[in-house]
Chain A
């Protein structure tokens, strides 16, 4: 047997999928995520009423059959707004984590593969970014670029780049010492080809885990930015913004804060459950323990 690599083989990925199917928590998380995606894509059509249907006759109504999540200070249906805001959260999660993934993996690949001064330069820059509290940095970036959904996504993407760079670099450092990488060099493959075709596929597992966990944090960060008025601008709905708008009525109309808050909570929890479960099955050390158990048991 050769030393375990950081990556699972195809068989391990298949086993990971079957392990997830038998984990009730992960299954619940996955179900919530599926629901979230459905609502995010079809929200405007599924919502019982328009998100900006102002009706002063029905303002600040408590949850009822007509309005399950109640209405806000302008008489807008909270359920509809929560549903449509799901799209914003998904969009922010996907775009900002996409930015972080692309930038972080690229930087981590180059740093880990070339080492030396490239590694030092890139990773020290990442350390500088990493040193700031996440939200403070995001706020600073939005302050420079101006508030709005797009800048919020860019800011969150930049903030989460160092994590991906570190995870990638750690994986690359161990994979690049493998004989199959030397074999690829001996064939005459270019550095870019080796990084793309040999190194990257072999560090996919930790990146998948990091992606699912980062999605949760990105959504949470967007909610915080929107709460601070730096994200989605009204009247467009966003969970964080709804929390902010509802804070003045928290004693009279609890539903204004609770339902968007619950939406954030469930989404973040779902991503974390799935992420943790993925980590459990894809983490190489964990995997060897599981395998040991299976072989002895």
Chain B
């Protein structure tokens, strides 16, 4: 089987790489067959950056995030965090890992225990990892964290159902910050929030990153949000990364037809432009991850698919410095889409 990514010389396990996935596969056996949720993903998250991961539902982006906390077990491939290979770690070791990597969940209501106060939810990492030695110190730390995420201190004694959606997500972020993790996996942190609140939460996340030097893996299906948040981004389709690069590269010069189609689905605010621009309409749904198409996985929906796309599984290759795409006709196919 082909490697999902061409190995370029890189500083493996070096200090500025916080977390790294190498040819990760996560397959789930189901009654319908083996679901290949993640099927050969390699990525690196560097200290202080935001890596955006974008894709449709079912693309495997959330599973990729869960794999970084080892909340799902890799079928093959490896997971490295802070230079250590955590792939084979025991349950006990993994509990310590989960102080290094924290997670913010999509639905802030569901991710907070309804029976516990906001303060005790935020304090849980402090207790679990014995980071404070007195209840007074715990209280102080919780207040610091509430301040950091812009919540009033007296909300510590409230229950989640007394808070708004945005406030709850701030609580989720405060809890993720509590253990001072090296990496925070943000799994669709804004998807279930109102539009106005989405912007506030994104600004909060960026502010915290600037002030505390945080590292994010930002998972979303919203291309615009990923572009706004990320230093680098990767586009996933059916368990693979199909394109990666800086948001500017991908936004201006998408090299993979799938990325181009996603971008063209974003409406333009100018009605004149909106009426006249060409949109790429993808037909059909994302194929079943139980039985992915042969060759290029996107060929069944690709407007530029050619005969050899069914034969060859394209590797991620560099199309520009730091910009990679997994398409046999990278760039060319997208240009053809514009012309046609």
Decide yes or no whether B221 CB sits under 8 A from chain A. no
Q: Of the candidates A5, A183, A190, A202, which one forms a contact with B111 in the assembled complex, judged by CB atoms under 8 Å apart? A: A183
- B103 near A186: Cβ-Cβ < 8 Å: yes
Residues on the A chain within 8 Å of B111, using CB: 179-180, 182-183
Given A10-B159, A179-B110, A185-B71: A201 touches B115 (CB 8 Å cut-off): yes
Q: When chains A and B are docked, how far (Å) is the Cα of A180 from the Cα of B114? A: 9
28 A/B residue pairs, CB under 8 Å, sorted by A: A1-B109, A2-B109, A9-B114, A9-B161, A179-B107, A179-B111, A180-B111, A180-B112, A182-B71, A182-B105, A183-B103, A183-B105, A183-B112, A184-B113, A185-B71, A186-B98, A186-B103, A187-B98, A187-B125, A187-B128, A188-B94, A188-B95, A188-B96, A188-B99, A188-B125, A188-B179, A189-B128, A198-B116
CB nearest to B114 among chain A residues: A9
Given contacts A178-B110, A198-B113, contact A186 B161 (CB under 8 A): no
Contact surface of B with A, Cβ cutoff 8 Å: 69, 71, 94-99, 102-103, 105, 107, 109-116, 124-125, 128-129, 159, 161, 172, 175, 179
Assess whether B99 is in contact with A10, with CB atoms less than 8 Å apart.
no
Distance of A11 Cα from B115 Cα, bound (Å)? 10
Closest to B98 in A: A188
Is A267 located at the chain interface by the 8 A CB criterion? Answer: no
Q: How large is the interface on A (under 10, 10 to 19, 20 to 34, 35 or more residues)?
A: 20 to 34
A7 CB-CB contact with B under 8 Å: yes
A7 to B116, CA, bound (A): 12
Is A193 among interface residues, defined by CB-CB distance under 8 A? yes
Q: Is the CB of A11 within 8 A of B128?
A: no
State whether A190 touches B95 (Cβ < 8 A).
yes
Give a binary string over A215-248; 1 marks a CB under 8 Å from any B CB, 0 the rest: 0000000000000000000000000000000000
Give chain A residues whose Cβ lies under 8 Å from the Cβ of B69. 186
Q: Cβ of B103: which chain A residues have Cβ within 8 Å of it?
A: 183, 186
Known contacts A186-B69, A186-B102, A188-B125; is-contact A7 B115 (Cβ 8 Å): yes
Point out which of B94, B114, B116 has the most chain A C-beta atoms below 10 A from its C-beta. B114
**Chain A interfacial positions (CB closer than 8 Å to B):** 1-2, 5, 7, 9-11, 178-180, 182-190, 193, 197-198, 201-202
Expressed in whole angstroms, the minimum distance between the Cβ of B126 and any Cβ of chain A is 10
Are A187 and B102 neighbours in the complex by a CB distance under 8 Å?
Answer: yes
Complex contacts, B129 vs chain A, CB 8 Å: 188
Residue of B nearest to A183 (CB): B111
Return chain B residues, CB-CB under 8 Å to A178: 110
Chain B residues contacting A183 (CB-CB under 8 Å) are 103, 105, 111-112, 172, 175
Q: Give the distance in Å from the alpha carbon of A189 to the alpha carbon of B71 in the complex.
A: 13
Chain A residue contacts of B110, Cβ below 8 A:
2, 178-180
Nearest 3 pairs of A and B residues by beta carbon? A188-B98, A179-B110, A188-B95
Report the minimal beta-carbon distance from B101 to chain A, rounded to whole angstroms.
Answer: 8
A187 near B175: Cβ-Cβ < 8 Å:
yes
